[in-house]
C-alpha cells in the first residue's frame, strides 16, 4: 500500500517502515520552535516538573517575535523570563530578527523533518517539504523533555496545481480561494499536499504563503514536493535535506482537487472568517482606516516589491495608516538596498521592525472601535486586530497596497 | 448540574482569550478576559461546574494553550461541541479539560439551561433527555485519566 508524503515523514520519525492514516505513532522530533506567545508559560511548567531536563537542546529554537519590542512591563517580564532561560540553557535564541516562521525558513527548516512549533502557522514549513505542525505549550514541554511526542497520522487532501497564475493574481489569492472552497474546517485533522505542474511557477515566497495559511482550513500540516526551486532556496541558505519524500502513485488521498491556476482571481476574505471569501471586485469601495503589508504570510521581499511597484510615486490616502513590516531583518536589509523602503516612506507609509505586528492584534498598529483594516495578515477573526467591534479584510499585497492608496478596497 | 453557556460555530481561540492578554504572567491574570469579545460578562457569570456548549469547529485558529487553560481556571467542567478544531482539542486533553463531541446537544439546549455530563457513562442529561457522546480516542482518554500530559512526566 502506497504512502503519502505525510505518512512517509511520520514513518521516518517513528522509525517504522510504514505509517498510514489513522495510526498513532510515537515520533522523534527534529526541531522544536517556540515564540513569546506562550514560552513564559512553558518555562513555568518546566520549573514545576519533578525532574526538569531538556532532552536535546540543539533541537530547540526560541524566537521573540510576537510583541517585539515589548509594549508593557508585563510583556517585558515574560520576555525576560524567556531570554534568561534561553541563555542559561544555551537554547538557540532570536529576538527581533524576524517573524518566527520566516526565521525558521531562513535558518533551520530542512526537507523531511518533523517539527513542532508552539504556533499554529508552523505548517508553513511544508514549503520546504517538512512536516510542521502547531502545538500548545504542554505538548511542546513534553517534546522538550522527552524529544518525542505522539501523532495521529493524518489523511491527506491533495491539490494538483496546473498552469500559471495570471499577472496581478498572487499565491494569497490562490490559498484564500482554496480555503473558501473547502471551508474553515475542511481540512481539520488532515494534511494538505500540493503538487502538479503548476508548482514550478511558484516562488518560495508563494509556497510559504500557501502552506502557512493551511491551518485556516484546520490542517494539521501542509506539504509540497521539493523541486529545484526549493533545493535552490535550501542551498542558498547553506543547508541540505534530511530526506526527500514524495507521495507514492498508489498513495491513498482523502480527496483530490485539480486547480487551474489561470482561473484564480484577486480574492478578499471578509470579516470575521477566513473562509468568508469573495472576489475582490465585490468589495470595491469599502472604506478602510488602516492597511497592513507584512506577517509570516506576506512580509517577504517579493511582497514588498509588489507593493512598492504599485505605490511608487503615489501617496497613501489621507487619514489612512499604511503599515509596512518586513518579515525579517534579512528582508528588511534587502528591501533597504533595493530602495523599496524609500518608496514606501515617500508615499507616507509607516515602516516598522520585523514582528507579528497587527496581524495578531497585540504588539502595535491595533485598530479602534468601528475601524476597518485591510491586511496581508493571517486572520480576520472578530477583534483579531484590536477592538472587538472592528473589521478585518484579508487580501494580497497588491490589493492591500492599492487599497492604502485609495482609502477603500481597490484592485491594483 | 451546571449551566450551559452556548456559543456558535467556528468560535476561534482569539474569541476565547484575545492576543493582548496572552503575555500576562499567569493564567489567573488572564482568565477574567475569557470570551471578552463575544460576551464580556462571561467570566463574571460562569460558575465552577458550568459547561461551554458550541456548534462546529470550536477552538479554531491559534495554538494558544491559554484558551483551554482560562476555561479550566474558571472552573468550566467540560466543553461540549459538535466538532473541535484539532489543536484546541489536543491542548484541552493535555491540560485535563474534558472536551466532548456530541452531535445533538447543541440544537436541543438553550443558553443558561441546566445540564449534567457523566464522563463515566459518556452521556449528557439536559431537559429530561439523555444524549450520547462520541468516545474519546483511547490514547486521549488515557492522558485525561492520568490528569493531563504533564502528570506522565512526573511519574
Residue A312 CB: number of other CB atoms within 10 A?
Answer: 14
User: Residue A202 in contact with residue A229, Cβ under 8 Å?
Assistant: yes
Q: Which CATH architecture has domain A267-406?
A: 2-Layer Sandwich (3.30)
Q: Which helix (H) or strand (E) holds A151?
A: strand A148-152
Give the mean model confidence (pLDDT) for residues A57-67. Answer: 98
Query: Strand runs (DSSP E) across A57-137, as ranges?
Result: 60-64, 92-95, 114-117, 131-134
Interval A107-147: pLDDT, tens:
999 999 999 999 999 999 999 999 999 999 999 999 999 99
CATH fold of A5-261 reads Aconitase; domain 3 (3.30.499)
Q: Which residue of chain B is at minimal alpha-carbon distance from A121?
A: B62
- What is the residue-level pLDDT of chain B in tens, covering all 155 positions? 999 999 999 999 999 999 999 999 999 999 999 999 999 999 999 999 999 999 999 999 999 999 999 999 999 999 999 999 999 999 999 999 999 999 999 999 999 999 999 988 999 999 999 999 998 888 899 999 998 999 989 98
Please give the helix or strand (H or E) that residue A161 lies within, else none: strand A156-162
The average pLDDT across A258-274 equals 98
Domain boundaries, chain B: 2-153
ipTM: 0.96
Is B37's Cβ below 8 Å from some Cβ in A?
yes
As a whole number of angstroms, the distance between CA B139 and CA A139 comes to 14
Buried b (16+ CB within 10 A) or exposed e, B26-64: ebeebbebbbbbbbeebbeebeeebbbbbbbbbbbbbbb
pLDDT of residue B120: 86
SS3 for A24?
strand
Pick from A78, A65, A94, A89: nearest CA to A145 = A89
Say whether residue B105 is in contact with chain A using an 8 A CB cutoff. no
Does pTM surpass 0.95?
Answer: yes
DSSP B43-98: HHH--TT-EEEE-SSBTBS---THHHHHHHHTT--EEEES-B-HHHHHHHHHHT--
d(CA A101, CA B79): 31
Residue A1: pLDDT band with limits 50, 70, 90: confident
Provide the chain A residues 52-81 that lie in CB contact (below 8 A) with chain B.
Answer: 66-67, 74-75, 77-79
For residue A254, what are the contacts with CB-CB under 8 A and spacing of at least 6?
A: A21, A155, A156, A157, A190
Does residue A146 sit at the B interface (CB-CB below 8 Å)?
yes
CATH 3.40.50.1820 is held by the domain B2-153: no
In the predicted structure, residue A21 carries a pLDDT above the cut 90 = yes
Contacts of A38 (CB under 8 A, 6+ apart): A118, A136, A137, A140, B22, B63, B64, B65, B66
Contacts of B38 in chain A (CB under 8 A): 382
Average pLDDT of every residue of chain A:
97
Task: In whole angstroms, give the CA distance from residue A279 to residue A364.
Answer: 29
Residue B32: the pLDDT is 98
Per-residue pLDDT of A335-361, as tens digits, reads 999 999 999 999 999 999 999 999 999
As a whole number of angstroms, the distance between CA A142 and CA A312 comes to 50
Count of residues making up chain B:
155
Position B152 scores a pLDDT of: 86
The strand pairing partners of A94, in sequence order, are A63
Q: Do B153 and A384 touch (CB under 8 A)?
A: no
> Do the two domains A5-261 and A267-406 of this chain adopt the same fold?
yes
Lookup result for grid cell 490528569: B147
Interface check for B87 against chain A (CB to CB < 8 A): the answer is yes
**pLDDT tens figures, A279-325:** 999 999 999 999 999 999 999 999 999 999 999 999 999 999 999 99
- The residue ranges of every structural domain in chain A are 5-261, 267-406
Sequence-ordered strand ranges (E) for A310-390: 321-325, 350-351, 372-375
Gap between the Cα atoms of B53 and B60, Å rounded: 15
Amino acid at each position: 500500500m502506497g504512502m503519502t508524503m505525510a505518512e512517509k515523514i511520520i514513518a521516518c520519525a517513528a522509525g517504522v517502515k510504514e505509517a498510514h492514516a489513522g495510526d498513532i505513532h510515537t515520533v522523534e522530533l527534529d526541531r522544536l520552535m517556540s515564540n513569546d506567545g506562550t514560552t513564559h508559560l512553558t518555562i513555568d511548567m518546566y520549573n514545576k516538573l519533578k525532574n526538569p531536563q531538556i532532552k536535546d537542546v540543539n533541537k530547540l529554537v526560541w524566537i521573540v517575535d510576537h510583541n517585539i519590542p515589548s509594549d508593557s512591563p508585563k510583556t517585558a517580564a515574560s520576555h525576560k523570563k524567556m531570554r534568561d532561560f534561553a541563555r542559561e540553557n544555551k537554547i538557540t535564541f532570536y529576538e527581533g530578527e524576524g517573524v518566527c516562521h520566516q526565521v525558521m525558513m531562513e535558518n533551520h527548516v530542512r526537507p523531511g523533518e518533523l517539527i513542532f512549533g508552539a504556533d499554529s502557522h508552523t505548517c508553513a514549513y511544508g514549503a520546504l517539504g517538512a512536516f510542521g505542525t502547531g502545538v500548545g505549550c504542554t505538548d511542546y514541554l513534553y517534546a522538550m523533555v522527552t524529544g518525542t511526542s505522539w501523532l495521529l497520522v493524518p489523511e491527506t487532501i491533495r491539490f494538483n496545481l496546473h498552469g500559471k497564475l495570471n499577472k496581478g493574481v498572487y499565491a494569497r489569492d490562490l490559498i484564500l480561494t482554496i480555503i473558501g472552497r473547502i471551508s474553515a474546517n475542511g481540512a481539520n485533522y488532515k494534511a494538505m499536499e500540493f503538487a502538479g505542474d503548476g508548482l514550478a511557477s511558484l516562488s518560495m515566497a508563494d509556497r510559504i504563503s500557501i502552506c502557512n495559511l493551511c491551518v485556516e482550513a484546520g490542517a494539521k500540516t501542509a506539504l509540497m514536493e521539493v523541486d529545484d526551486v526549493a533545493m535552490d532556496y535550501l542551498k542558498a541558505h547553506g543547508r541540505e535535506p534530511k530526506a526527500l519524500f514524495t507521495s507514492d502513485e498508489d498513495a491513498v488521498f482523502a480527496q483530490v482537487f485539480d486547480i487551474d491556476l489561470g482561473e484564480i482571481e484577486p480574492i478578499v476574505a471578509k470579516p470575521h472568517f477566513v473562509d468568508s471569501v469573495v472576489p475582490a471586485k465585490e468589495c470595491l469601495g469599502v472604506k478602510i482606516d488602516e492597511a497592513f503589508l507584512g506577517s509570516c504570510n506576506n512580509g517577504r521581499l517579493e511582497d514588498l516589491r509588489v507593493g512598492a511597484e504599485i505605490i511608487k510615486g503615489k501617496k497613501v490616502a489621507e487619514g489612512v495608516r499604511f503599515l509596512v513590516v518586513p518579515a525579517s531583518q534579512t528582508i528588511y536589509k534587502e528591501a533597504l538596498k533595493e530602495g523599496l523602503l524609500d518608496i514606501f516612506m515617500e508615499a507616507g507609509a509607516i515602516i516598522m521592525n520585523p514582528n507579528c505586528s497587527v496581524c495578531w492584534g497585540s504588539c502595535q498598529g491595533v485598530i479602534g472601535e468601528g475601524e476597518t483594516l485591510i491586511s496581508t495578515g493571517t486572520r480576520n477573526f472578530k477583534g483579531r486586530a484590536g477592538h472587538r467591534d472592528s473589521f478585518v479584510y484579508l487580501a494580497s499585497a497588491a490589493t492591500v497596497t492599492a487599497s492604502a492608496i485609495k482609502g477603500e478596497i481597490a484592485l491594483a | 448540574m451546571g449551566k450551559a453557556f452556548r456559543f456558535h460555530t467556528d468560535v476561534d481561540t482569539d474569541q476565547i482569550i484575545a492576543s493582548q492578554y496572552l503575555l500576562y504572567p499567569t493564567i489567573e491574570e488572564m482568565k477574567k478576559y475569557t470570551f471578552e469579545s463575544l460576551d464580556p460578562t462571561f467570566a463574571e457569570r460562569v460558575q465552577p461546574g458550568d459547561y461551554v456548549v458550541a456548534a462546529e469547529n470550536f477552538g479554531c485558529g491559534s495554538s494558544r494553550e491559554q484558551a483551554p487553560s482560562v476555561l479550566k481556571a474558571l472552573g468550566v467542567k467540560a466543553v461540549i461541541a459538535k466538532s473541535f478544531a484539532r489543536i484546541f482539542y489536543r491542548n484541552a486533553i493535555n491540560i485535563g479539560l474534558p472536551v466532548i463531541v456530541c452531535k445533538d446537544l447543541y440544537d436541543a439546549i438553550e443558553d443558561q439551561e441546566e445540564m449534567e455530563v457523566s464522563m463515566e457513562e459518556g452521556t449528557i442529561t439536559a431537559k429530561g433527555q439523555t444524549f450520547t457522546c462520541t468516545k474519546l480516542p483511547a490514547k486521549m482518554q488515557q492522558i485525561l485519566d492520568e490528569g493531563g500530559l504533564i502528570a506522565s512526566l512526573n511519574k
